[in-house]
């Protein structure tokens, strides 16, 4: 991480006054830079290789952040509360977008085995 922060600080448009406390903050800054500072640079990538690589990397980061937040929720509020919120989420999934609960169901099984006594 320190190497990444050091490289980021060498970018001429880096805002030294910003406080970055995590890896996710760096990606937020990258998104702001790409979307607003340099006119959608990622949208001009050509070829399925680059786009697929970026999609997979973003998916991995997203799932990591979601899992971290879900485990923190279970530890802070208890497994029963998390299970209740999951039930509300499943009920909110509408026809046609019900795949939204597919990944959470897989993670829930893991949480149930590992964290059910919280």
Mean of per-residue pLDDT scores for the chain: 75
Is residue 2 in a domain? no
Is residue 13 in a domain? no
Domain that holds residue 103: 21-115
What pTM was estimated for this model as a whole?
0.57
Is residue 16 in a domain? no
Is residue 7 in a domain? no
Is residue 5 in a domain? no
Is residue 33 in a domain? yes
CB-based contacts of 40, cutoff 8 Å, min separation 6 = 34
The predicted-structure confidence for 31-82, as pLDDT tens digits, reads as follows 777 767 766 666 666 667 777 777 788 778 878 888 888 898 899 999 999 9
Is residue 66 in a domain? yes
Q: How many folded domains does the chain comprise?
A: 1
Summarize the confidence of residues 94-112 as an average pLDDT.
74
Is residue 11 in a domain? no
Q: Which of 51-60, 79-88, 93-102, 107-116 has the lowest mean pLDDT?
A: 93-102
- Sign, CA torsion 86/89/90/96: negative
pLDDT of residue 84: 92
């Amino acid at each position: 991480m320190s190497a990444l922060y050091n490289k980021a600080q060498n970018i001429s448009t880096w805002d030294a006054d910003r406080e970055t406390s995590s890896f996710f903050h760096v990606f937020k800054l990258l998104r702001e830079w790409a979307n607003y500072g340099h006119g959608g640079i990622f949208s001009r990538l050509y070829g399925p290789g680059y786009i697929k690589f970026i999609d997979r990397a973003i998916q991995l980061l997203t799932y990591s952040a979601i899992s971290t937040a879900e485990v923190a929720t279970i530890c802070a509020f208890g497994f029963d509360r998390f299970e209740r919120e999951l039930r509300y989420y499943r009920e909110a999934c509408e026809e046609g977008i019900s795949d939204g609960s597919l990944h959470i169901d897989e993670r829930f099984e893991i949480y149930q085995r590992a964290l059910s006594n919280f």
